[in-house]
Structure 1
């Protein structure tokens, strides 16, 4: 008979089976999801100018196409997180990819501006669930080198951005924007088909009290990786460290009770005393990092023709089929490759918090010189470097957000934080494009600098480092 000394937790089981073939396949699937989202986000750089020319849109109508996407994402990020926490990661992924593929293909058949606007908003609503792919993958990975493996998803994101810029360069001048929209929706369709072959997260199953299903899943992982599970019986974190009476206190709901809560209860848990500081800091950081990162992305186009002659910027942006637009976006996307490598090297060596601080400081140092007009080479180099470091910092934040929340609110918590970031994404065009086009480049850069400084200060107030820390399944252990 096995005694209590032979009991093991889910984290111990995952550490024993290690990272192997099973996790590699899971990484590829989650990577396809991120590849698809990256393509749709980079698509914003090309569709607006093309549609404006064909349908004679006003500048406001053109900008609304991007705003509609971010507006849909604002709602979708938390919605899909909630669905995934309530009904499982696998169900969430299937719904996300189905809506994304449908909205993407429908966009390509839009007969007028209004229908295109609705389709793009619906697409934004769907692709906002991309963070669920990350939560799903995270729950299969052992704690050792977890940060580096999670950051491997960024490789697929960068590939998606570069691929979108490449096919836009080829397709737009020859076949037009409708074909680009249709082709860009194809990866979502691939993800939808693959989603019927993926397993449910073992951590989600365990949280729901489905111990036998969890054990079968762990056995499958061990078999695929050609390793063995620990000897003994599988137990939960709660059974190991929490008294039964403590787990029933208000604001500290048991995982088994989570599914019985209403939509608003998830929000109450995120704002409970144990998670309040973490939640508020993540909201602020997602807002500031999104604002700064997408601001640099948009300034790349706004400043790509040189800023000494302010009026020339508008003329440059108006040429939707000018190859310089594709070149500048393509080169800017390449900045994220070294950013990905830097983040991968740092996160499991010096930790998530210190990595974010260092990367944020370097991003600030590179963006401040743009407060005065620079020549084209210097401007491009500074924007390249700033995007590289801000991308690395933002990416590290997305990993930290998923690790710091317990399983019972992981997807909804990171989703709500992502929603706050989308507000920053909706506002930043007013600064990055509006002020620069209005010949107020200095004001725009100073504002970005202030936002980045706020980010650095907020990072200091996180309670703990997640490097090497086991994931938790409930709010009580997450607060410890």
Structure 2
């Protein structure tokens, strides 16, 4: 039997390379979005992601498969510019309500891919799953005709006619009248400078945001991978040890996977669906917390609860109990992501907002790349040690969130530094 370290190199190589591509290009796309526009970068990222995702289904070898998935990760890293566009269009009093509701669409996609996987992989194989999963991304490219460039970005670059045209179109759609006055904002010659993130005014905020992003991602993917690991090893109440795990392979092309993993049973897919639904379970409470307690306090509370539920996974329980704990963990980590996405988009000014989100997304993927080594390798040696480590990181993030120097609740978006 191979060591856990060898297993992680094969089982996680695809995932790790996707995260690596995301990590590298997230900063680049953020830099370009602040200089050339959110809409352009969002469109490029969708075209890039859809193209390489479709190519993946024709990969002739495992090496090609890993490379093409890395390219998909590069493209997906620009999708966060969609959140930036939404943030810059939404009025202050609605951002805390509307942005978390986007989680519904993320949940719908997650459930859809799990359902498709349970049907397509056992019948016609993973290649067709990738092809089918590429279709929505290709269709959505046509929707870009109806997505305007951020009016705030246009103003910051001096393109006030384009900004006015967008605002007049919105007013017409809402059967409203444009307010009187002249649209005037200072124009900066340089935008999207990395040094601005480490400027004295934002240095502490930036460093704490990076810690929180890294920790939340570490916890999020830790929950997902720990869930899969518990299912794979049937570790309810420690009922099976690593030596008792039976790895099966079929005779088909799909069975000869370089990862040497066995197929999930139908019950495993049901469990994954139930735990995934948890990602929206706390959405109403999360929205209330964000809008009434504020971004910082709400995030510190949900991070603290995440730490607690990681520790609760150590309790010997039934299969239903395990699913319940995983359900709550998925709900909490999703709430954490909701809040930090909103906070990051609100705390930085327009001239560096996309770069701030891009660098945060890059740090996020570092946490995601480290998580498998804890949830699979360390957990194979000590479940208690792995879960305590996840819990400790969440406590650090909770403290960082509580001590953030700027609260963005009810704060208008800043246009310049």
- TM-score normalised according to structure 2 size: 0.91
| Residue matched to 1:31 | none
Q: Number of residue pairs matched?
A: 396
CA distance in 2, matches of 1:185, 1:221: 31
Match of 1:269 in 2: 196
Shift of 1:326: 1.7
Structure 2 SS opposite 1:129: helix
Distance 2:399 2:214 in 1: 14
How far the C-alpha of 1:191 sits from its partner, in A, is: 2.4
What SS does the corresponding residue of 2:122 show, helix, strand or coil?
coil
1:343 aligned residue = 286
Please state whether the residue corresponding to 1:354 is helix, strand or coil: helix
Extract unaligned runs of 5+ from structure 1.
Answer: 1-56, 239-254, 260-264, 476-480
The 5 Å alignment of 1:210-225 reads: 210-225=159-174
* Residue-by-residue CA offset, 1:273-332 (whole Å, 9 max, x unaligned): 111111111111000010011101111111132233222784479322522332222111
Moved more, 322-331 or 138-147: 322-331
| TM-score normalized with structure 1 length | 0.79
Q: Take 1:276 and 1:316, find their aligned partners in 2: how far apart are those partners?
A: 49
Q: Is 1:256 matched with 2:179?
A: no
For the structure 1 residues 313 and 66, does the alpha-carbon distance in structure 2 shift closer, same or farther, using more than 3 Å as the test? farther
Indicate yes or no: 2:194 matched with 1:281.
no
What secondary structure does 2:22 align onto?
helix
Instruction: Write the mapping of 1:42-441 to structure 2, written as runs, cut at 5 A.
Output: 60-236=9-185, 238=186, 255-259=187-191, 266-304=193-231, 305=234, 306=236, 307-311=238-242, 314-315=245-246, 318-438=261-381, 440-441=382-383
SS at match of 2:325: helix
What's the CA shift string for 1:4-61, capped at 9, x where partnerless?
xxxxxxxxxxxxxxxxxxxxxxxxxxxxxxxxxxxxxxxxxxxxxxxxxxxxx96522
* Cα shift readout 1:52-81 (whole Å, capped 9, x = no counterpart): xxxxx9652232011111111111211111
Tell me what 1:245 maps to: none
Query: What CA distance in whole angstroms lies between the structure 2 residues aligned with 1:277 and 1:444?
Result: 29
Q: Distance in 2 between matches of 1:155 and 1:122?
A: 27
The aligned residue for residue 386 of structure 2 is 444
Deviation at 1:372, TM superposition (A): 4.5
Distance 1:92 1:295, change over 3 A: same
Q: What corresponds to 1:460 in structure 2? A: 402
Q: Do the aligned residues in 1 keep the contact of 2:306 with 2:391 (CA within 8 Å)?
A: no
Deviations 1:134-177 (A, max 9, x none): 00111111111211111121111111101110111111111110
Inter-partner Cα distance in structure 1 for 2:68 and 2:145: 25
Q: CA RMSD in A?
A: 1.8
